[in-house]
Structure 1
Amino acid sequence: MAKAWIHDKWLKSAQVTTADGHSRKVEPPSSVKRSLAMYADEPGKAKVPDDFRSKDFGKGARWEVRWRVDGTGRRKLFRYRADAEAFMAEIEDRIRSNRYTDPRDSRRPLSEVADLWQQGLAGTVKGSTEGRYRRELRCWVLPKWGEVALKDITTVGIQHWYVELAEGTAPYAGKWGSGSPLSASSIRSAGKIVLGSILDVAVENRWLEANPVAKAKVPHNRAVQRRIYLTPQEIKTIAGQMDEVNATVVYLLAYTGLRIGEALALRCGDVGLSRNRINVLRTQSVDANYLLVETLPKGNRTRFVPIPSQLLPRVKALLEGHGPEEYLLRGPWGGRQNTANWRNRVWAPALQDAGMKDIEGLVIHSLRHTYASLAIKAVADVKTLQAVLGHASATETLDTYADLWPNRTGEVAEVIGQDIRI
């Protein structure tokens, strides 16, 4: 059973011999204790007989809190008894409520806990996510907190670090270049997820009482990247700079809402011509070592997307003469294309040739945004759009494209007004 008590380092019991020749211990009388209390800062002036003086009398702090937990003894010194009593009460409360942390464990550097966290990371998240977490740990978390003791990592300190990340002034240890300002989502990943998960391990091992990340707030983005919605003519202009296969990639992204990784992972057997739809069963990604792999789509959610009738001839042309396991959107030599190569060797040159490379915010994902804008213009309801885009919830769809839904409050008021009788 855990136990805590207070020990007086300055006084001791005296050994006295009684008249019948027996020896017994005598505790310091209250008069001795009162005298020493009066001269706590000058113990030499107190009236304390030598028999009651310990070998440490007058040296250092007087009061020592001692406690045992998990079979191990601990101690801490205090100058005043009131402070010692308050600490003892706190220690006993923490032990009883299973919140006790060993002060020596709280002096562990974060890097030690990070090593333990990394050992349990593999297999708990997708390979690409694992790789990102390890990169954020190496580039951002360890340069700032690696050698800092757990007890010295505070919510205030983390809050200041978030500001540094947003401003691009935080310590950085990337392999190339220097640290640049991070977006709110990147700060949340490095801070709330990576640093937060490491400190969760410390809390679970009772090396910390609470996780200081919990109450730190991620700064809002100071500048939001402009979202681009293309017109059908602009889509045609971009596609016109490409060969037939890659032009079809552009049209599929813009008119079905596929992500580029999903499109390039399509097999011919994923196309259901009888129902004019594509089954989205996988996407391109990378593993923890940045090697190309194919995994379930984002959020582990498979889905199907309808193919507009105008695109069917292009899709049928790609299917002719190819088996169900062959890639639908094949590269120049008939094999798989990968996202990075397509962006650098197909998309970027096409923007250059179309005179659109300097449009701020225009990226491949703009084609998916364009699909959303066209669907909303066509009066698609939010649940249908959520299903086609593969969002986790209707809330995500609304939050992402809230600016596209028309404000119809006036129409609502007009309809309600038809039933008002005054």
Structure 2
Amino acid sequence: MALDRASRVDYSGLGCQCRLNKGGILFRRTRYQQGSLRLEERKRGAAVWVYRWWENDITGKPIRRKVQLGCLERYPNESAACAAADALRLTINNQSKRKNLQKTTVNILWEHYCREELPLKEISTQDAYLVYAENWVLPRWGKLLLEEIKTIEVERWLRAAQIADGTKAKIKCIMSAVFSHAVRWEFCGHNPISSGIPVGTGGKRGPSTGVRVSAKRQKSPLVLSPEEVKLGLTQLEFRDQLLVFLDGALGIRQGELGALRWLDCEFENMNFSVQHSYYWRRGGHLKSTKTEASAKLLPMHPSLKQALLEWRSQSLYNRPGDFVFASERLKGSKPLDLASVLKKKIQPAFKRIGITGVGWHTFRHTVGSMLAEMGEHQLMIRDYLRHANLHVTNKYLQATTTSKRLAQGKLVDAILPGGVLSASKSTLVH
């Protein structure tokens, strides 16, 4: 039946023609906003792609918005820029009931994730996500629609990949985080990576119903004995000796060792206040420690205090705000590149005594295992390594071959006190 003209109302403020039903309730067509894209020149630098759209302010007044998607070097043609704009278009039309009409691929979802959620993470985490996504996830799954991603297919792909199990587990975690983002924004109904069951259908949920990959280590981490650490120190100069001595006595992380400043060394209270970590990429960044537990105080042994004071008297950068191991080449503005020191100084020194594969984290594992060998309680080791929970601490504890032989000797003595098993007799020979 044709609608009467009286039931049509022109709401000019809304910018569209609406109509009323019999009860006088307003109906309005939900629109999917595409926005506009154009290449604009700049006074300085390369031309940039600019995306424009409309949105209402708090009073309901429509306002023109725009955002720079990237330069011409990043998006060399309009097709590439349009693909980047698709992610932003999802955000703009999030309240639209027609948003599901827009087919969303993994590439579009990743762009949306990079704009909305990835910037909230630490810079080091952002870089790791970008590497795994660009090298593994997007080349294989980027062009597929979200509903085409199946749990078993992802699992088979990861199992067939010729990479370490730990890398597979990280790829799985990143894909799960991205699809959880899609579920929160209602781009899809379920997360095929962490759970194969759609939301609202009931049934068992959790990791067991999602992609299954092993994160098992291919080999145990290297753990040094006290004698090996002592012998390695004899092969180094004083600065590098102090680096190894600090790491071997405190078990701090590489970034925390680089970020250590003189104001963090509380010589009067005999404590270390480890509050920051240094990230060398992207020009260098001083950031907060990994967890709240990582910011706990560490004791300062008199030998550590004496060595640090001697180094401070020799260093050109000894003010409270200076780095303990500042880079002379960069005039103290940044700490030493510890990765370079490890490669050029530490590893060759230990290689001369027959030990290969030494890294900064080797000393952290060594500290945990040595404390366990000394009979220290797990809770004390957890707090000393500044872990958030014991589950992580247990991964750092390894018994040495000597201690295992001693433990085995006690077991054998308990089973066969003073005796041996005889092949010719079924009784014990004393």
The two structures have a TM-score, normalised by structure 2, of 0.61
Residue 161 (str. 1) matches residue 154 (str. 2): no
Q: Distance in 1 between the 2:129 and 2:216 partners?
A: 24
* Structure showing greater Rg: 1
| 1:22-61 equivalence runs, <5 A | none
* Residues in 1 aligned to 2:238 and 2:229: alpha-carbon distance in whole angstroms: 14
Q: 1:102 to 1:296 in 2, by over 3 A?
A: closer
Total equivalences in the alignment: 296
| Whole-Å separation in 2 of the counterparts to 1:101 and 1:391 | 47
Q: State the match for 1:191 in structure 2.
A: 172
Q: Is the 1:245–1:330 Cα contact (8 Å) retained in structure 2?
A: no
Q: Which has the higher contact order (CA 8 A, sep 6+)?
A: 1
C-alpha distance 158-122 of structure 1, shift in aligned 2 (>3 A): closer
State the shift of 1:306 in Å: 1.8
Higher mean alpha-carbon deviation, 126-135 vs 315-324, is at 315-324
Distance verdict in 2 for CA 1:201–1:313, change over 3 Å: closer
Alignment partners' CA distance in 2, 1:314 and 1:388:
21
2:225 aligned with 1:231:
yes
Give 2:340's aligned amino acid: N
Percent of residue pairs identical? 18
- Kept in 1, the 8 Å contact 2:113–2:181? The answer is yes
Q: Shift of residue 366 of structure 1?
A: 1.2
Amino acid at match of 1:260: Q
Aligned to 1:317: 310
The C-alpha deviation readout for 1:169-221, integer Å capped at 9, x for no partner, is xxxxxxxxxxxx1333x3232222x2223222332343322111113234224
Q: Which runs of 5+ in 2 are unaligned?
A: 1-27, 32-96, 196-209, 415-430
Aligned counterparts of 2:262 and 2:100: Cα–Cα separation in 1: 61
Residue in structure 2 matched with residue 293 of structure 1 by the alignment: 285
The equivalent of 2:252 in structure 1 is: 258
Q: Which residue type is aligned with residue 188 of structure 1?
A: A
Relative to structure 1, the CA distance from residue 232 to residue 201 in structure 2 (aligned partners, 3 Å threshold; closer, same or farther) is closer
* Whole-Å separation in 1 of the counterparts to 2:305 and 2:341: 23
Deviation (angstroms), 1:147: 0.7
Structure 1 position 104, deviation (Å): 4.4
Cα distance in structure 1, aligned partners of 2:306 and 2:212: 48
Q: How does 1:180-219 map to 2 (within 5 A)?
A: 181-184=163-166, 186-192=167-173, 194-215=174-195, 216-219=210-213
Counterpart CA distance in 1 for 2:231 and 2:395 is 30
- What is the CA–CA distance in structure 1 between the aligned matches of 2:387 and 2:217, rounded to whole Å? 25
- Runs of 4+ in structure 1 off by over 4 angstroms are 70-73, 100-105, 331-334, 402-408
Residue 112 of structure 1 and its aligned partner are, at CA, apart by: 1.2
The structural deviation recorded for 1:116 is 0.8
Cα distance in 2 between the residues matched to 1:221 and 1:202? 25
Q: What is the root-mean-square deviation of aligned Cα atoms in Å?
A: 3.3
2:298 maps to 1:305: yes
**How big is each residue's C-alpha offset from its partner over 1:236-284, in whole Å with a ceiling of 9 and x where there is no partner?**
2222222101101101111111122211211112112223221111111
Supply the AA of the counterpart residue of 1:182: A
Q: Which residue of 1 aligns with 2:423?
A: none
- Listed one character per residue, the Cα deviations across residues 76-100 of structure 1 (whole Å, up to 9, x for unaligned) are xxxxxxxxxxxxxxxxxxxxxxxx9
Q: Do the aligned partners of residues 403 and 120 (structure 1) sit closer, same or farther apart at CA in structure 2, a change above 3 Å counting? A: farther
Please name the residue that 2:272 is paired with: 278
Q: Give matches, 1:360-375, under 5 Å.
A: 361-375=357-371
Q: Find the counterpart in structure 2 of residue 383 from structure 1.
A: 379
Relative distance call for 1:376 and 1:309 in structure 2 (3 A) is farther
Instruction: Go from structure 1 to structure 2 and tell me whether the alpha carbon gap of 1:377 and 1:221 turns closer, same or farther (over 3 Å shift).
Output: same
The unaligned stretches of length 5 or more in structure 1 are 1-69, 74-99, 169-180, 415-422
